[in-house]
Structure 1
């Protein structure tokens, strides 16, 4: 193995990484104004602390910090490096990207679990609802994520990519393995939870009558939107990472490593579009946020139409007729009541 610390950083196919750099620039150009506008609405129009939407706000912060990291990573790709050859910058970028991705996942899963308890275990004490009202819980989640992400800063790997490449000390190997366990665990475990919540909520929806389905339909859309984010953004790169590690650990497959590395890096770039998809989750989770965002940024001719549309979620105010029965002597009189 070469002793040059930049060997493992260099891109074997310069065209591929230049293309990926432009894709990241596109994600940055679209993601920055979108996340800034969402952040503005949450703070100045929606006032998340009054709406008890602290978890949603934390997702906004994580997405914004992720978007802020993209220009530096795109710059390295454009220069033909998979990672920065500068050790400190490499670790800092790795730390920020994994921390913010982990935060986004953690708070999305918490919201999905909250919907699950509200629907499947209606009437029972929902510990998630109690916890999400406290900002201290969000602080604890961030501190836990910081602890789990620290191994990305340990000086055990070349270009942030050592497992299967180097024969380090036992401490180095343990650190590398722990980092991979955290990386896979923060995707696989939440996805299993999501699938379980989705199946239970859908089963509950199928057993309800038509008049009781509005809340359940919204819950299904929430968890399904999170499942879509996972399926599009996180699962493909996780599978590619597993394949890459298998190739590195199997000496007979070394010839395929360059191709697998390019696929993995491409899917990691794809995973960054979660900062563009998460605002859809905000709308599904909270119709008040959707109305505040539309009222702030949509032109008048479009605003009125969007505010009157519930997108199949049952989020707008509608007028329905409920029949009640009043008995006078022996004759029943039916009176229509308008319910909002």
Structure 2
């Protein structure tokens, strides 16, 4: 989804497999984040999915009515006020994909923990993701009680009690619990209201040297592309501080892994393009997710080959240890 500004906050969607993370991402952003053939075949997220949206509120209604993702109020047709642009990280819930989820947690400013109302609480990855959020230090969390359309009111209340019991004693014991049906777009306004109240945009320092965490990397060239038409490798992630500009020289640490597992200290390249919020920009500001086009050999970035690296200006990144 194209948004009017660069996203300023990253919100993760975590929880057990098939509890509705990708469906909720689509309800909030209009984008289906399971884009890879194996994901579509298996019906689960394997790689981290990303999507951007903008939050609006129509002043003509009492909350939670009036909160939405479009500038024209769907209730009265009035003009809704822009609140902020947000990036969502759809993390896998399957147990064998926990490492992928943790790499996404490194850039999360807050999270939505999804719990399916038609299953007992907690499911295995519900517990694991709660622990992961605790370890990473993510405390701004909204609990999303999804799939309430699949059971009676009494069943939903019992599931709610199970959730509160599960959270008791945890760092997010007082987190708001919002009942929704992502599939039918019910309760999305109340969820956006809870996100706005619970997950603020953290302070950023654009004056510091740029520091970007790479969560994905790509070769975007199609098979058969002529050499003259090849584009450099693309880095996807979040700028934690500072600013990056098109044309700027950057350093990536550590460098690619070579034969025998040896890791080179760093590689240098140039920023050729910046895409954030579905639009191209001349400069990137901290917060939100972005894709950085570079002059790198695309083979280095292919298939997440540079995931986990740091990007900055030369001489400002921490040293590499073998």
Compute the TM-score of the two structures, normalised by the length of structure 1. 0.24
Tell me the TM-score normalized by structure 2. Answer: 0.25
Higher strand share: 2
